[in-house]
Structure 1
């Protein structure tokens, strides 16, 4: 049985909970909800962790075709996410090739998803930290489009500002679609998931 580590990138604490920079946490929460499995905070892990299994029937399934899935929400801040990811990889004996990072992406319009393997960090501090701690960028990424800030708003202010209430339902729909993409990637392969979800 393969073990996958699905990392939702975000910042801990209520201040950041509903910001665009935390869409990775939103997708991890959606996957945990589907599995009906809680997040816990194991001692020394520096992250909230949810262990479950995925089958063709979905998260929380059981059976011979089940893949083991560890959902991770680092308790470090975004720019130190890699420390929590590396610790989880060591503890669960997961190679970087079985890691999926879910993150916000300024260069994609809201409503767009892109799945890829490897590549640069494109200025994303969470990806940069993961690459540094894992010693490689060769992990999967689910890029969740949030679009560019309007006018002259600073991108850092934009990603850390709360999602407008009028858009929260739309963000929930996109988080569900991103969760579908993660399931497809694990149950099938990257090409299948790209064909189905890349936009």
Structure 2
């Protein structure tokens, strides 16, 4: 299985840049940097910021950050898949997950949206057979806190340190999926890390 489209989820605008909900943007930014991808450019037709790279091992990859707000993330994905004739099986979506601790990462190939509005919109617009990389942002500090307030808030200084230290490992995990496929990648990515400071898989 080859992958052609990698989408990081988040909200557009500088006020959302460092929020928990925008971790998908941060990861795909880090991936683009490592791969030496083209500079990001806004594309009104696809409602996204786009970058691309022709990789000697993976072929051409399209990287995308939707410029709609989170709950319409599927518009960009649907447009890109339709125009480039990319089947869902060749799509990777990266997004935040409150049911994983900060620093954790999970890869799955199926499942529900789990209350995530961005993923829910994608599932409503394309078939569900795409790879999902969930990046842990930790749970709410107390049940009474509105979910929107939490995901649109910024990481604590301690959590930000964990995220910054983990970005290289997140990118390595995507590289593993691209180079070795879902089965091996899931086995490696989803196992518990024995050393939280490790940046390799």
What TM-score does the superposition give when structure 2 sets the normalisation length? 0.88
Which one of the candidate residues 111, 114, 136 is aligned to 1:122? 114
Query: Is the aligned partner of 1:44 residue 2:45?
Result: yes
Call closer, same or farther: CA 1:139–1:2 in 2, change over 3 Å: closer
Give the equivalent residue in structure 2 for 1:144. 135
Contact (CA 8 Å) 2:58, 2:178: kept in 1 or not? no
The within-5 A match list for 1:94-173 is 94-134=86-126, 136-152=127-143, 153-173=145-165
Partner of 1:57: none
Q: Which moved more, 1:118-127 or 1:174-183?
A: 174-183
> Would you say the 8 A contact 2:50–2:64 is kept in 1?
yes
Between the aligned partners of 1:144 and 1:103, the Cα distance in structure 2 is 6
For the residue of structure 1 that corresponds to 2:141, the secondary structure is coil
Partner SS state of residue 166, structure 2: helix
Q: How many residues in Structure 1 have an aligned counterpart in Structure 2?
A: 189
Distance in structure 2 (CA, Å) of the matches to 1:27 and 1:41 = 18
Q: Which residue of 2 aligns with 1:71?
A: 63
Cα distance between partner residues in 2 of 1:177 and 1:81 = 25
Q: Residues 18 and 163 of structure 1 are in contact (CA less than 8 Å); yes or no, is this contact kept in structure 2?
A: yes
Name the CA distance, whole Å, in 2 between partners of 1:154 and 1:120: 21
Residues 123-144 of structure 1 deviation map (CA, whole Å, 9 limit, x = unaligned): 000111001111x221110011
Distance in 1 of aligned mates of 2:42 and 2:141: 37
Moved more, 165-174 or 72-81: 165-174
1:40-89, Cα deviation, whole Å (9 max, x unpaired): 123411000111134xxxxxxx3xx3322111000000000000111111
CA RMSD after TM alignment: 1.6
Question: Does the Cα contact within 8 Å between 2:3 and 2:91 map onto a contact in 1?
Answer: no
2:63 paired with 1:84? no
TM-score w.r.t. the length of structure 1 is: 0.89
* Residue ranges of structure 2 left out of the alignment (5+ in a row): 193-201
Deviation larger for 138-147 or 159-168: 159-168
Where does the alignment leave 5 or more consecutive residues of structure 1 unmatched?
Answer: 55-61
| Alpha-carbon distance between aligned partners in 2 of 1:166 and 1:107, rounded to the nearest angstrom | 18
User: For 2:3 and 2:111, how far apart are their aligned partners in 1?
Assistant: 22
